Amino acid sequence: MVALAGIIIYLIHLTFRNVPRIDPANTLAARMHMQHHLGGLISIHSEKNLEHFNNKLHGRVVVIQQHHPIERRLFDLWGSRFDRQPIIMPWVVFFAHILILRGQCQSANDILYRMTKPQNIIVGLSGGVDSAVAAHLLIEQGYRVEGLFMKNWEDDDTSTSCTAETDHQDARQVADTLGIPLHHANFAANYREEVFAHCLQEFRAGRTPNPDILCNQRIKFHAFLQHATRLGADAVATGHYARVGRGPGGYTLERATDQHKDQTYFLYTLGQAQLARAVFPLADLLKTRVREIADAVGFANHAKPDSTGICFIGPRDFRTFLNRYIEFSPGPMVTLEGEVIGKHVGLPFYTIGQRRGLDLGGRSGHPAAPWYVVDKDLAHNRLIVTQGHDHPALLSQWLTAIDMQWVDGQGPTSRLRCSARLRHGQVDAPALLELDTAGRWRVHFDQPQRAVAPGQSVVIYHGQQCLGGGIIDTRDSLIKEPPRAIR
C-alpha cells in the first residue's frame, strides 16, 4: 500500500511540473530533444540505435506526441529522475500503455516511423524556385537530400520551343549551390503514353482535359517515385504548395498556408501509398517568403517566373501545337437561336466559357458585348456562342463526375456537405455530394456555377482537407428548354 501511494503521489507531482513544450512537427528538434534528455543513458545518434532503444522498451516509445501533459512529464522523468536504464524501462512501458489505452497516442511503430523516416529524400528539381527552396529546407531539417531532374518531352526539343535545357541548367545550379547530387531521368515515353495520349483522346471527344493533374498522378508520383525508390530514396519531395497530414483513416491531403498558391486541386488523385512517401516542404510558406529564401541562399532562379503552359511541354501557341497531333475541321459558329455568325477553326481548340480567340467583333442586330462559348455540337461540328458573361446557358446548378479518386481510398459513405472547386485558384463553392440513382456522383451547388467544362476536374473539400475528386462528365443548364442550336 505504501508503494502504491508513493506511485500515485509521484504521478500527481509529474502532472504539475512545468516542462517546456516541444514542437512535434519538427522532427529534427524532437530527435535532438531525445538526445539531450537521454544523454548518458543510451546513444541516440542514429536511427539504428533509436530502433534498438525502442525494442529494449518492448515496442513502447512515446517521444513524438507532445501535446499531452503526461507525455511531456515523461521527457522530464527520463532526463532528471533516473540515471539507470533498467529503472526507466518500467516507467516508460507503464506510461505508454496508459496513453495507448486512452487513445491519446498511436502505436509505437507508427510514431517511430514518423520520427526516423524518411531520411533519404530525392527532390524533383524542376529548375524552378519552389523545388529549389524545398530541397534547401529539407537539408536544413537534417535529411539526406539528392535532386532529380525529369525530362518528359522531346518531340520538338528545340531552343525556341522548349525550355528543358534552361530548366536543367537552373536545376544544376541549385544542386551545386546546395552541394547535392543531381540525377537525370527521361520519362518522355511514360508521359507520351500515359498523359499526352489521353489528353489528345479527350480533345478529340470535344472535352477539356487537365494534363497537370494526370501528370502528377502518372509521372511525378508514379514514374518518379518508382525511379527514386530504385535510387534508394525513402520518400520524394516536390515544390507543391500542399500539406500531408494524419487522421484516423490514415494520411490526409490538406491545403497549404498560402491559399493563393495552394495546389491541392492538382494533387487530388494521390492516395495513401503516394502520400505516405510524399513530402511538401513549402506547406507553411508564402510564395514571397520562398523567393526571399531563394535569394538569401544564392539560387540564380530566385526571381524566375512561375511555369506556365502544358505540364512539362512548356509555354507555346496552343493552337499551333495541337494542330500537329489531331485532325480538325472548321465549322459554323452559331448563336443559341441557330444563327450563323462566324466560323470556328476546330472544336478541340475551344472550351466552355471561353471568350478570347473567337474573332467575333460587332455583329449587326446584336449588342456590342463580348461573346462566350456555351457548348459544342459535335454531331454537326458547330460551336455555340452567346453574349453575356453570366448568361443562363453558362450557369449550372449541378454536375456529374466520373473516375472519382479518393485520398482515403474509400470516399464518403453517405451524402456529404462539402465545398467543390472546378478549377485551380477558384473560390470553393458550397455543395452537396451524393450518389444518384444511376450510381454516379452528383455535385449540387448551393449557387449556380459558371462555365462547368466536361473533361475538367471537380475537386471535393471538407474544411482544410482535400477529399478527392473526379472528371466532370455532364452538367445542367439554367436554360430548361434547349434552344434550337443545341437540340
What pTM, to 2 d.p., does this model score? 0.74
Q: What is the pLDDT of residue 164?
A: 80
In DSSP terms, 433 is beta-bridged to 416, 443
Burial class (CB in 10 A: 0-12, 13-18, 19+), 45: exposed
Compute CA distances 12 → 256, 284, 416, whole Å.
40, 37, 44
Instruction: Kindly list the catalytic residues.
Output: 215, 311
Q: Please count the other Cβ atoms lying within 10 Å of the Cβ belonging to residue 436.
A: 10
Q: What is the pLDDT of residue 129?
A: 97
Phi and psi dihedrals of 281, rounded to 5?
-65, -15
Distance between CA atoms of residues 155 and 165, nearest Å: 14
Q: Sketch the domain layout of the chain as residue ranges.
A: 2-116, 120-297, 328-387, 392-486
Would you identify the CATH topology of the domain 392-486? Elongation Factor Tu (Ef-tu); domain 3 (2.40.30)
Distance between CA atoms of residues 178 and 172, nearest Å: 10
C-alpha cell at 244: 500531408
Would you identify the CATH topology of the domain 328-387? SH3 type barrels. (2.30.30)
Each residue's pLDDT tens digit, 36-61 = 333 333 333 333 334 344 433 333 33
**Sign of torsion over alpha carbons 20, 21, 27, 30:** positive
Each residue's pLDDT tens digit, 448-458 = 999 999 999 99
Question: Of 262, 268, 257, nearest to 221 (Cα)?
Answer: 268
Each residue's pLDDT tens digit, 190-205 = 999 999 999 999 999 9
Distance between CA atoms of residues 406 and 178, nearest Å: 37
Burial 379-389 (b: 16+ CB within 10 A, else e): eebbbbbbbee
Distance between CA atoms of residues 82 and 95, nearest Å: 15
Residue 84 has pLDDT above 70, yes or no: no
Each residue's pLDDT tens digit, 127-155 = 999 999 999 999 999 999 999 999 988 76
CATH number of 120-297: 3.40.50.620
Compute CA distances 244 → 170, 210, 273, 274, 397, whole Å.
27, 23, 12, 10, 32
